Chains A and B, each alone.
Chain A
Amino acid sequence: MSGGADGANGAAGDDGRPTLAVWKFASCDGCQLSLLDCEEELLMLAGAVRIAHFTEMSRASTPGPYDVSLVEGSITTEADAERVREVRAMSRRLVTIGACATAGGIQALRNFAGEGEYAGMVYAHPEYIAALETSTPISAHVEVDFELQGCPIDRHQLLEVLTATLAGRRPVIPGHSVCWQCKGRGTVCVLVAKGTACLGPVTRSGCGALCPAVGRGCFGCFGPAETANTASLAAQLRHQGMAPLELSRFFSTFNAAAPAFRDEAVAEGAPVRVALGATRRNRPWGAQ
């Protein structure tokens, strides 16, 4: 791999179309699949950009630099920590997609346990496994231009991010909570009306408020909203009879290591055995 931030400037493909690369780290492939799930738009997209690297889709790959890199997955090995630095160096814009890439994913539950403990539970020979003690978001390792949350991401939001990025404007992705989308679709509040435990008030919108529409509380796939008052929600849930351990589990799923959710889980008694602090390195949109 070659090319640096400077080298990444004139990255347009041979035919003048901007180039797109898709990268995978520790993840389930679901967010990349959301790109392939843009069925109606997929062939149109393939015409508007040159897909220069996307292993799940093609055996062909052209070397960087790339105009846009989409990164799925979290960093869980030294080798991947090195690889994401190379990806950054080759990419003019780097956009992370999904809960793994933006928060560490469900596999960040290891941050609350300790690597040796987990590997020993799954593998007969933990010594064969070379993995870090933590699962960390991409922003803990390199500068990120935009983070798209969701487990999985919403494909309409993904198309907005791609369209905006290619047009050179900042993507319009609301930072408000799931409550807004519930009100928008006219769903009666499951938390207030039925006392169902719901993370909607602190979870970022984007999914379409799917769970309350089937009478289920939001379980936080999209991670923290921009201004998440988790302490207030936790107090309400406690008031409704939720036990601390239950509360701690509630905040500790696919976005367990996202700071707002992590801090609330820890406040409710989740064990913390290794350092969790990851410095986020998002850069302002105008920066090159």
Chain B
Amino acid sequence: MGGTVSHGSGSPRTIGVEGLARVEGEGSLRVVIADGTVTDVALDIFEPPRYFEALLVGRHFTEAPDITARICGICPVAYQMSACAAMEDAFGVTVDERVAALRRLLYCGEWIQSHALHVYLLHAPDFLGYDDAVELAEHDRGAIERGLQLKRTGNLIMETVGGRAVHPINVRVGGFYAAPPPSAIANLADPLRRARDAALATVEWVAGFDFPDLVGDYRFVALRDSGRYPIEQGRPASSDGLDVSPGELADLIVEEHVARSTALHARLGGRDPYLTGPLARYALNSAALGRLAGEAATRAGLGEVCSNPFRSIVVRAVELVFACNEALSLVEAYAPPDPPASDVIARPGTGTGATEAPRGLLLQSYEIDGEGIIRHARIVPPTSQNQLTIEADLRRVAQGSLDLSDDELGWRCEQCVRNHDPCISCAAHFLDITVVRA
């Protein structure tokens, strides 16, 4: 899979890339071109449904962080943190600031791991014309080693704080099972200093790539966290003035179920599509990046807002600098929370939690009964929110690239989807790309 395949000739003409690689999941993608105009695009998701929202019903609220982590092996912490935030909202629990700081450190680990994976192993090969990172490594081993070093540092944070890099075990509603000893946290400082240098080198590396000219007319939606760059908490905001609580956002998001997808398509207030993720976080919070990451962004040629989706790789690299620097600050200021978790007493109610997964805003809402049993669950992952916007990107990119050969157009379309680091396992995975030309 992965190559461009022509499906016959005549009218309409069909080009298909049967399997979009280097994304997390299975789906398909189709572009129809008639008389020199793109007439239809569809990002279809055929990841077999796993029914998390159903299987959570009847489970105890304490199980939600571990169960929802299994939605995605790439961003399990995002699921755990949103689940905890939702439960704590339902029960009126406020966590100790040391617990909040440790959560932010764990989450920085996931950002570093996930962004390094996406920038180096999934996205960069597109810009350099390689099929994969192994081929890239044959030409520039130093680059891939730098990426793997970053990824390893992210994993090291997740292992130290969370107990394990994939599906951490130390997270619970209210905080952690145990606070890591200061010596273990202190051991993260040296790898993080090296990772911060590697992240700065990453910004410089990706800023030198060639980017297709494309400006999206995006409605950005991201959290804002009182002057801090948003990760584990904040208030949902948008580029057109929205400023609401996570619960209010949950009420505004309308999800549609369409025949061609096992993911639900999200709209905000029934209106236009919107975009979450690095571009949105950056557009709404670039002033909060701090000096080091902010200056790296300026050197890379980013303004206060970046609306070229191909340049999202630069924004991810800037976020890598931010996350390494932030993690280092948290490590240096670490004091073990004692106790490691707040007491949580179940009461009937509803709660919503929203946090910034590496690939965008992740919302969870629960209704809990007096026994602490989940009666209703709703999970809105980043990719289902971004799906309509990715389709709009595809339409623009295909329309502007009709002079490309079938192979090149197919690859460009794949790249266009990878720009947004979709996690199709999350959204409900394999993208089959089909371009139909009349």
Residues A152 and B257 in contact in the complex (CB < 8 Å), given A25-B48, A59-B22, A106-B55:
no
A residues less than 8 Å from B155 (CB atoms): 37, 39
Chain A, interface size: which category? 35 or more
A214 x B48 contact (CB < 8 A): no
User: Roughly how many angstroms separate A31 CA and B57 CA in the complex, as a whole number?
Assistant: 26
Cβ of A180 within 8 Å of any chain B Cβ, yes or no, is no
Does B348 belong to the interface (CB within 8 Å)?
Answer: no
Separation of A216 and B414 alpha carbons in the complex (Å)? 44
Interface membership of chain A positions 20-62, coded 1 if the CB is closer than 8 angstroms to chain B and 0 otherwise? 0000111111111110110110110010000101011111110
Q: What residue in chain A is nearest B255 (Cβ atoms)? A: A124
Q: Which residue of A lies closest to B17 (CB)?
A: A59
Give Cα A59–Cα B122 distance, bound, in whole angstroms. 10
Contacts A28-B73, A207-B164, A249-B60 given; does A57 touch B121 at CB 8 Å: yes
- B100 interfacial by beta-carbon distance below 8 Å: no
User: Given A25-B48, A254-B70, are A214 and B178 neighbors across the interface (CB < 8 Å)?
Assistant: yes
B137 partner residues in chain A, CB cutoff 8 A:
43, 46
Check A121/B51 contact, CB under 8 A, given A58-B132, A60-B131. yes
Pairwise interchain contact B167-A128, C-beta atoms closer than 8 A? no
Residue of B nearest to A154 (CB): B164
Query: When A and B form their complex, which 6 residue pairs have the shortest distance between CB atoms, in order from nearest?
Result: A30-B73, A58-B132, A59-B2, A60-B131, A214-B178, A59-B21
Chain B, residues 127-163, CB within 8 Å of chain A (1/0): the string is: 0000111110100010011001101100100000001
Q: Which of B1, B170, B425 contacts A28 (CB 8 A)?
A: B425
**What's the least CB distance linking B272 to chain A, in Å?**
21
Which one, A29, A42, A58, A215, contacts B425 given CB within 8 A?
A: A29
Q: How large is the interface on B (under 10, 10 to 19, 20 to 34, 35 or more residues)?
A: 35 or more
How far apart are the CA atoms of A166 and B2 in the complex, in Å? 27
A24→B429 contact, CB < 8 A: yes
When the two chains form their complex, are residues B48 and A29 in contact, meaning their CB atoms are under 8 A apart? Answer: no
A55-B166 contact given A28-B71, A106-B50, CB 8 Å threshold: no
Inter-chain contact A29/B51, CB cutoff 8 Å: no
| Known interface pairs A28-B425, A29-B25, A215-B177; A110-B48 also in contact (CB < 8 Å) | no
Closest A residue, CB atoms, query B114? A33
Closest CB of chain A to B406's CB: distance in Å? Answer: 15
Contact with B along A187-225 (1 / 0, CB 8 A): 000000000000000000001001101111001010000
A128 touching B49, Cβ below 8 Å: no
B73 cross-chain contacts in A, Cβ below 8 A = 27-33, 152
Contacts of A51 in B (CB 8 A): 134
A-B contact list, 27 entries, CB within 8 Å? A25-B48, A26-B48, A27-B425, A28-B70, A29-B24, A30-B76, A31-B166, A33-B166, A42-B148, A43-B144, A58-B133, A59-B22, A61-B21, A107-B55, A113-B55, A117-B54, A122-B51, A122-B52, A129-B262, A131-B48, A131-B49, A152-B166, A207-B164, A210-B163, A214-B169, A216-B177, A216-B178
Q: Does B26 contact A (CB under 8 A)?
A: yes
Name the contact of B24 in the complex, choosing from A56, A77, A124 (C-beta under 8 A). Answer: A56
Among B59, B76, B167, B414, find the residue whose CB has the most chain A CB atoms closer than 10 A.
B167
A58 B57 Cβ-Cβ under 8 A:
no
Q: Select from chain A the residue with minimum beta-carbon distance to B55.
A: A109
Interface pair B48/A119, CB less than 8 Å apart: no
B66 closest partner in A (C-beta): A219
Other than the known A39-B148, A39-B151, A56-B21, what 4 A-B pairs have Cβ atoms closer than 8 Å? Answer: A46-B134, A61-B21, A76-B48, A128-B257
**Inter-chain contact B1/A26, CB cutoff 8 Å:** no
CB pair B163–A214 under 8 Å, yes or no, is yes
CB pair B21 A55 closer than 8 Å:
yes
Instruction: Report the nearest A residue to B19, measured CB to CB.
Output: A55
Residues of A within 8 A of B411 (CB): 59
Is B72 in contact with A28, judged by CB distance below 8 angstroms?
yes
> What does the 1/0 interface line of B7-30 toward A look like (CB < 8 Å)?
000000000000111111110000
Known: A128-B259, A215-B177. A30 touches B167 (CB 8 A): yes
| A125 sits at the interface (CB 8 A) | yes
Contacts of A56 in B (CB 8 A): 21-24
1/0 contact string of A70-96 vs chain B (CB within 8 Å): 000000110010000000000000000
Is B248 an interface position by the 8 A CB rule? no
Q: How far is the CA of A121 from the CA of B49 in the complex (A)?
A: 12
Contact pick for B1, options A29, A36, A61, A123, CB 8 Å: A61
Q: Are A55 and B430 in touch, CB under 8 angstroms?
A: yes
The reply to whether B22 and A57 contact each other, CB–CB distance below 8 Å, is yes
Residues of A contacting B199 in the complex (Cβ-Cβ under 8 angstroms): none
A60 to chain B, nearest CB (A): 4
Inter-chain contacts of B148 with A (CB < 8 A): 39-40, 42-43
> How many angstroms between the C-alpha atoms of A246 and B60 in the bound complex?
9
CB distance from B294 to the nearest CB of A (A): 29
Contact present for A26 and B22 (CB under 8 Å): no
Contact with B along A118-136 (1 / 0, CB 8 A): 1101111100110100010
CB distance from B270 to the nearest CB of A (A): 15
CA distance A121 to B53 in the complex (A): 7
Minimum C-beta distance from A284 to chain B (A): 31
Measured between beta carbons, the chain A residues less than 8 angstroms from B166 are 30-31, 33-34, 37, 152
Whether, in the assembled complex, B244 has its beta carbon less than 8 Å from a beta carbon of chain A, the answer is no
Contacts of B59 in A (CB 8 A): 249
